[in-house]
Structure 1
């Protein structure tokens, strides 16, 4: 059974004749007759009573007609969905995100009111995001810092976020509106170990080295709230740096100041080669945000 046979069957039923069906389909009558005959032989039933003035459905033909219409409608929906998938107007994007306001704006821009395009998120550490991308379990992944692209993937710069330094509110540096790495060179730095966040750790050490600043190591960074509490209360002054995720913290005893020069780059990791329709839609949304 072929879709065209069902289409011819429905056309004859709707027009009441092989000639009129052929005219509506833009083909010759013999083609319609041949395909209907084949369909009847495949089904083992007569679909039409072929009279001299009008061709009418048999009882069995009437019973089969709703199903034939349903099959053709399903085929049309499938073709329309395939076209939408190819254009990026439908489908599924499996994304490894980073936290922050830019990600929220991007997801809002990707949202489709019809629900034809969906995004599923995998909230896992950066190294795991890249592994899932390499293994084909993600279509794209965002990573911050200075990551290394896994084999078979490419890194595209998505955006840059400023870095902020947090120092004790009573320290002389808190009086400055903007801080530089050189000014912080003598103050112990609270930085998480490299295993906790390799891209960000590498970014910080690289940026400080490029600025000629080598601050002594302070106590380890744990979480931002805990680290800010320790900066505010410790007898020995220290500092830490971070990028904005959910707004800048307003913590008693701590002064947050922009760090001049360095920025945290967020990269989009995608498979090498031509982008899929879902990734093309993601790239278009990123371009809209940048523009």
Structure 2
């Protein structure tokens, strides 16, 4: 088994066919097919099943998907780092930060407020944007970002992940969901209903959903990757979304955030992710600020908006 095989496998799993994988990798379809055949022989089973014009993962393919994703991203991060080092260190005095989450209601406004607070408190020009995990991690290794904020722990090669605070999990229900009238929900209440899973988000770190599943949530997963899919999940599938329990998340009358039974609800860490090794003085000051002032940042986030879509 080699990294090229895993790259082809992961691209094919995401694209749903070998043709798109071949175009993205600059090789022939035959090369991708041959590589997948060799990988299947090594693993002793089939990774894909044809389905109409596309294909879907077998149980073996599903089991390999997450390890392959992590291996590919780690390999690409090393390549980005090597490229950055070969060009020499970038000299700048600002801070570029990313909050790892789907876009949420008023996220540009909230990020602007937080960035302004940090700029004033640290005396360092600071920018904050909402980003999806894998691309943000690549930019962190490349030096284009200085730090990531994650809801839930992240394990990534070459990075430190330090808890700077906590939040509580909540349940986001559509307007016609059978549980809409309940003020507080248990894992048992939720068990019959599908919960939204997004590979780019829940496959990146220990999100609210991942952590709740580790603590006993047993709802079936529904894989969704588009805004249209989110609407269908909430409106037509009696589905729900796990997220940070902030009432500002509610989009009345379309969907409302509900409390999770505090007896079952795990505490979700909010973490600051930095590169290992020597850091610029500006990044060290950011580290200390976040450890000491998270409660203020949390109040800002609670006041103006939260996750609203994918």
> Scaled by the length of structure 2, what TM-score is found?
0.51
Within the alignment, does 1:157 sit opposite 2:157 as a pair?
Answer: no
Aligned to 2:93: 91
Distance in 1, matches of 2:285 and 2:206, equals 31
Aligned to 1:52: none
Within the alignment, does 1:231 sit opposite 2:238 as a pair?
Answer: no
- Structure 1 unmatched runs, 5+: 1-89
Larger radius of gyration: 1
- Is the alpha carbon distance of 1:280 and 1:245 closer, same or farther for their aligned partners in structure 2, counting shifts above 3 Å? farther
Within the alignment, does 1:214 sit opposite 2:244 as a pair?
Answer: no
Per-residue Cα deviation, 1:156-196 (whole angstroms, up to 9, x for no partner): 1133333321234454522221212222011122322x245
CA contact (8 A) 1:144 1:199 kept: no
- Is the alpha carbon distance of 1:150 and 1:245 closer, same or farther for their aligned partners in structure 2, counting shifts above 3 Å? farther
Distance in 2, matches of 1:240 and 1:123, equals 19
Per-residue Cα deviation, 1:28-47 (whole angstroms, up to 9, x for no partner): xxxxxxxxxxxxxxxxxxxx
User: Following superposition of structure 1 onto structure 2, how do residues 110-149 of structure 1 map, counting pairs within 5 Å?
Assistant: 110-112=118-120, 117-121=124-128, 124-149=131-156
Per-residue Cα deviation, 1:239-291 (whole angstroms, up to 9, x for no partner): 22233689312232544202341354332111224543212321333213437
More deviation in 243-252 or 262-271? 243-252
- Is the alpha carbon distance of 1:276 and 1:288 closer, same or farther for their aligned partners in structure 2, counting shifts above 3 Å? same
- Is the alpha carbon distance of 1:274 and 1:172 closer, same or farther for their aligned partners in structure 2, counting shifts above 3 Å? same
- Is the alpha carbon distance of 1:284 and 1:105 closer, same or farther for their aligned partners in structure 2, counting shifts above 3 Å? farther
- Tell me the secondary structure at the aligned position of residue 188 of structure 2: coil
**How many residues were matched structurally?**
195
CA contact (8 A) 1:106 1:289 kept: no
- Structure 2 unmatched runs, 5+: 1-91, 102-106, 297-310
Aligned to 1:267: 271
CA contact (8 A) 2:155 2:205 kept: no
Aligned to 1:58: none
Within the alignment, does 1:280 sit opposite 2:288 as a pair?
Answer: no
Distance in 1, matches of 2:96 and 2:150, equals 15
Distance in 2, matches of 1:259 and 1:219, equals 22
Distance in 1, matches of 2:139 and 2:267, equals 27
- Is the alpha carbon distance of 1:200 and 1:183 closer, same or farther for their aligned partners in structure 2, counting shifts above 3 Å? farther
CA contact (8 A) 1:163 1:241 kept: yes
CA contact (8 A) 2:132 2:200 kept: no
Q: Please give the root-mean-square deviation of Cα atoms over the aligned residues, in Å.
A: 3.6
Distance in 2, matches of 1:246 and 1:166, equals 10
CA contact (8 A) 2:246 2:257 kept: no
Aligned to 2:194: 188
User: Following superposition of structure 1 onto structure 2, how do residues 54-69 of structure 1 map, counting pairs within 5 Å?
Assistant: none
> Scaled by the length of structure 1, what TM-score is found?
0.54
- Is the alpha carbon distance of 1:220 and 1:102 closer, same or farther for their aligned partners in structure 2, counting shifts above 3 Å? same
- Tell me the secondary structure at the aligned position of residue 167 of structure 2: strand
Within the alignment, does 1:198 sit opposite 2:206 as a pair?
Answer: no
